[in-house]
Amino acid sequence: MNVGEEQQQQVAGTGNGVQRCTVVVVIDPGHGDSHDESTTIDPGAVGGGLNEADVVLDISKLLKGKLAAKTDLIESVHLTREGNVDNPSQERLLWRQQVAVAKKCDVFLSLHLNANEKTSANGKEVFYNHKSSNKAESAKFAATLFAAYKLPIAERKPPVKTEGLSVLATYPWTSRKLGKVRDATIFQSVKAAALFELGFVSNDGDRKAVVDNKDNIAGWLCDGICSYVSANRAILCV
Percent above pLDDT 90 for the chain: 77
Going by C-alpha positions, the residue among 91, 75, 73, 77 that lies closest to residue 28 is 77
Q: What does 183-231 look like in DSSP terms, one character per residue?
A: E-GGGGG-SEEEEEEEEETTSHHHHHHHHHTHHHHHHHHHHHHHHHHHH
Q: Model pTM?
A: 0.91
Residue 60 host element (H or E): helix 52-68
Q: Which fold has domain 23-236?
A: Aminopeptidase (3.40.630)
Strand 46-47 vs strand 172-174: parallel, antiparallel, or unpaired?
unpaired
Tens digits of residue pLDDT in 10-36: 444 444 444 567 899 999 999 999 876
Is the model's pLDDT at 176 over the cut of 80? no
Where do the structural domains in the chain lie, given as residue ranges? 23-236
Which residues, in sequence order, are bridge partners of residue 77? 25
Q: What is the pLDDT of residue 15?
A: 44
Peptide bond into 158 cis (omega under 30): yes
| Torsion sign (Cα): 155, 224, 228, 106 | positive
Mean pLDDT of 189-210: 98
Distance, CA of 101 to CA of 103 (rounded, Å): 5
